[in-house]
Amino acid sequence: MKKYIAFISATIIVLGVMLYSTKNEYIFKIFGTSSVEENSEKQEKDSKDSNKEGGVLKNISGIFNKYVKDDSEDKGESPSAEIEEENDNNSEDKYKYSQGILLVNRKNKLDKDFIPKELVVPKVKFKSSADPLVKKMEKEAAEALERMFNAAREEGITLLGVSGYRSYKIQESVYNNKVKKSGKSYADKYVAQPGTSEHQSGLSMDMVSTEHTALDTAFENTKAFKWLDANAHKYGFILRYPKGKEKVTGYNYEPWHYRYVGVNASEEIKNYGITLEEYMEN
């Protein structure tokens, strides 16, 4: 019995060694062939001469290389195709623009794939509870915001950013959560439908100040609000949802919500005491 077990064990070991060496040879063949292509013509010739299988493997590896090459060419093409598509989506045909200014409101929605071109976090103070996911703004607007916050600071007013760019996805989840919690009619009344928030443009910022950090209408009684009222237009910003213009904007009065439109438009809007909607109609 012992002899029998010893014989079986020996056979398994011998078979194992044979299998191992066969595999190794196979691996070396693949390895050898692929390095042939890259490294040395002489080796390639040797490999071709030595056996047919090497040739077949070489062909496979050639096809593989071609595939990799084609794939990388595809990769080179697809991002620019995406960029083109993105530009199409942000094009003036699709959304309401006037004099290069984008209008977003309940009637003029943005698609779920509208993403501002260059989003950056403005280098300003934010309210400590500000969500890092919504601090960004379109670069030009972010830089204007920095200039405005710095100017206010020089006059002893510390403005605080609260909420800038809000992606379609974020709007969607806020809206859906509200529907779940309080029903659709309540949600429709108090939460913007996805795509209707101007925050998706990357051109808006909700702001408060160290003297009043709540996002409520009492912000209008602060020095910061008075400063913004007198100066925001100099930096290209407008109070987007003014008191008494609710029917025009479709939004309740929001003394904390500012929109970047560029200095030319902001000066005119301020001087005429109009809304962005009215400015764009004329």
Which residues lie closer than 8 Å to 101 by C-beta, 6 or more apart? Answer: 261, 262, 265, 276, 279, 280
Report, in Å, the least distance between residue 206 CB and Zn ion.
4
C-alpha dist (Å) from residue 155 to 93, 101, 151, 231: 42, 30, 7, 12
Return the number of other C-beta atoms located less than 10 Å from residue 146's C-beta.
15
Nearer to Zn ion, 47 or 196 (CB): 196
Q: How far is the CB of 88 from Zn ion (least distance, A)?
A: 27
**C-beta closer to Zn ion: residue 138 or 206:** 206
CB closer to Zn ion, 29 vs 257 = 257
Q: Taking the complex as a whole, how short is the minimal distance between the CB of residue 60 and Zn ion, in angstroms?
A: 59
Cβ-Cβ contacts under 8 Å for 165 (sequence gap 6 or more) = 116, 119, 134, 135, 136, 137, 138, 199, 200, 201, 202
What is the contact surface with Zn ion in residues (CB under 5 A)? 206, 257
Least distance to Zn ion, CB of residue 204, Å: 5
For Zn ion, the nearest residue by Cβ is: 257
Question: Cβ-count burial of 229 within 10 angstroms (0-12 exposed, 13-18 middle, 19+ buried)?
Answer: middle
Q: Which is nearer to Zn ion, 58 or 257 (CB)?
A: 257
Instruction: Catalytic residue, from 254, 267, 268, 277: name it.
Output: 254
254 is catalytic: yes
- The residues that are catalytic are 254
